Structure 1
């Protein structure tokens, strides 16, 4: 049986590598939502789904969806999903691994001619990372019925609106409401994903049970001062926007370090308008990413950093534009599904480790309409959002064994019906 799981792991890895070869740049893996590389990658995944004999469709937001029907037309739907978009200069596994493991599970069920008490839908979400339009979970929010149609007017850095991007993708935004799975028709949701952290790597355990997902708040800050000549404006008369932004970056870091308990703060983007070596920066835009599994702590951190940014702007005689881009509350995974997944891990012979995910996942919006569970898979040194991202074959084979057992338990026990 172990050889069978290894062979399946090898096939998934081969597909991962084929998909990773499709990228917007030659040096890493970049497939942001709606780009030619994204569409080419999605077409490749669709070809694998269709080769397995699964009927597929692309919905109005660009999600790729395949369905395995139960003999019972009135059965509920269990969703297997992850995403196939990436950050810039990404690794191979973040997102696509869950989609391709889902395909492997369906191929195995088809080979077994297993009778299904529920429908299974496999979804490759089109945009989880939110890189292009600075908003996460576009794909899963459509499927859960939570999509905000005002987002269609949001523009990327090239001035292209989401609505225009969908037209270019041959996607039909008028169908977005119809693409949702009604809450009453959901049975549950299962997402398989690399850990994106070092716990499993350090403990040499291949999988973990996800108990909760941290909440997050994303902010765009713009400090505006006065551009001036670097050689002629005295230091005590400057309105240097970059110095204000730099001080804010350190305040955010120091606050998160001091408060702990899972709180993290990151400034990942810094843009200087009309930058030149001999010009005092007059306008600087930066990002803030705040995360915590504790909703109260997250709110307190947000309020503290906003008030300090405002005070800093006054102190340095610059203005501040603080814009909340996205926020999600912490969510707990479903207790019944987690009990089954924990049993599947134990049945497969592995220690059951419970983890809180600091990264966001499509399971977040899904959890508001359906029971959701997640399986973490050990990744090389916990590295993610980086070309060094990797998963060892033995760990992948172990994860397949656990996922198989979970689906068997779900079919026989079905705790959420």
Structure 2
């Protein structure tokens, strides 16, 4: 907990915690975490994308690698626990193993991913995509708000944009992946339970909708003759909310951004851009809901004589956690004296790209009222202690399990 507080003190601002990828605050946090890893007996390095990596090596010839990880970048005005909790809890586990000095049946690697939130360059999972070999070189020309390219940001941190592929763990070397994260939802808080077993991570589809009507004078254009783009968006926002409420057992739908172009109090809005964030743990339902909401938006636009451009900007498929690893994690939760609460994560995590190359499992930790991406984000000490105990039991089970032999 002291380490979490120390890392949280490194921020771009003083109100909350802001540590965007590649910024001076991020680099200071990056070096602090690496210092802790080195002092704990891990072999450390910074890779090309800025991930902080520490390893405990196995003496076994041809041993595979099991990864414990989360991220240390944040959204703007974030809390202290989203991401760093998993990194620093993992550090505690490996620090204890290093102190014991026992030989391991496989390599253990702790990774503090450099960019999961995607705030600066509007892309997610940069750190974990490099480690899994899924990084797209086309992203290197993407620019931030100041016009700095991703390639330049990497170079500014001392990395080589052309050599990122060398930092991937080969697919044949992966044994598995474990991530501890705050729940970011209220279920554990309401049930007064410290931890939960993540069974799946919801898929996501993000859309940018541009609505075009006709700008006009607010005092002279009769109401029945208007092509008010904002009024059309307003209708869609409420329709999307109602759609989400109607199908709440299988999906969520959110309009989180609204941009009224050339806005003025005395002008009928002629162009408005809004977002749509759609999530479901079922791929088929995600696809059908996407089509239904697109049809709904087009119906609204047609009736209001608006032109609609529908542009999907991101798609992430739903991910199921690995049955064998989840069985061990459930056993660890039970042995620690807690009920096994299965939860689907509505938020994305680095476990998503990792699951493409390796078995993955996740442990959720209760957070205050389910609040996240907010300075009020908090984990109480007893819940942190429970997460440490469960994780230690899980790692102990893994070290003696047949999963390590690939079964």
TM-score category of the 2 structures, normalised to the smaller one: over 0.9
d(CA) in 1 for partners of 2:199, 2:121: 29
Q: 1:291 to 1:67 in 2, by over 3 A?
A: same
Q: 2:235 aligns with which of 244, 247, 267?
A: 247
Q: 1:183 to 1:351 in 2, by over 3 A?
A: same
Structure 1 residue 392 and structure 2 residue 367: aligned?
Answer: no
d(CA) in 1 for partners of 2:258, 2:134: 30
Q: Mean alpha-carbon deviation: is it higher for 43-52 or for 397-406?
A: 43-52
Q: 1:189 to 1:395 in 2, by over 3 A?
A: same
Q: 1:233 to 1:162 in 2, by over 3 A?
A: farther
Counterpart position of 1:145: 133
Structure 1 residue 130 and structure 2 residue 115: aligned?
Answer: no
Structure 1 residue 48 and structure 2 residue 36: aligned?
Answer: yes
User: Cα offset for 1:410?
Assistant: 0.8
- 8 A Cα contact 1:135 1:325, kept in partner: no
Counterpart position of 2:222: 234
d(CA) in 2 for partners of 1:412, 1:106: 16
Structure 1 residue 162 and structure 2 residue 150: aligned?
Answer: yes
Q: Which runs of 5+ in 1 are unaligned?
A: 1-12
Counterpart position of 2:182: 194
Q: Mean alpha-carbon deviation: is it higher for 276-285 or for 119-128?
A: 276-285
Q: Secondary structure at the match of 2:146?
A: coil
Counterpart position of 2:277: 289
CA offset digits 1:190-222 (Å, max 9, x no partner): 000111111211221111111111111111222
Counterpart position of 1:318: 306
Counterpart position of 1:348: 336
Q: Which runs of 5+ in 2 are unaligned?
A: none
d(CA) in 2 for partners of 1:167, 1:25: 24
- 8 A Cα contact 1:155 1:162, kept in partner: yes
d(CA) in 1 for partners of 2:307, 2:139: 27
- 8 A Cα contact 1:207 1:378, kept in partner: yes
Counterpart position of 2:364: 376
User: Cα offset for 1:51?
Assistant: 2.2
d(CA) in 2 for partners of 1:353, 1:198: 13
Q: 1:270 aligns with which of 254, 258, 271?
A: 258
Q: 1:133 to 1:310 in 2, by over 3 A?
A: farther
- 8 A Cα contact 1:134 1:325, kept in partner: no
CA offset digits 1:11-37 (Å, max 9, x no partner): xx1111111122222211122222222
- 8 A Cα contact 1:207 1:395, kept in partner: yes
Provide TM-score, normalisation by structure 1: 0.93
Q: Secondary structure at the match of 2:400?
A: helix
Count residues with an aligned counterpart. 405
CA offset digits 1:335-362 (Å, max 9, x no partner): 1111111111111122111111111111
Provide TM-score, normalisation by structure 2: 0.95
User: Cα offset for 1:321?
Assistant: 2.3
d(CA) in 1 for partners of 2:152, 2:374: 30
Q: Secondary structure at the match of 1:304?
A: helix
d(CA) in 1 for partners of 2:230, 2:144: 24
Counterpart position of 1:179: 167
- 8 A Cα contact 2:279 2:346, kept in partner: yes
Counterpart position of 1:217: 205
Q: Mean alpha-carbon deviation: is it higher for 213-222 or for 224-233?
A: 224-233
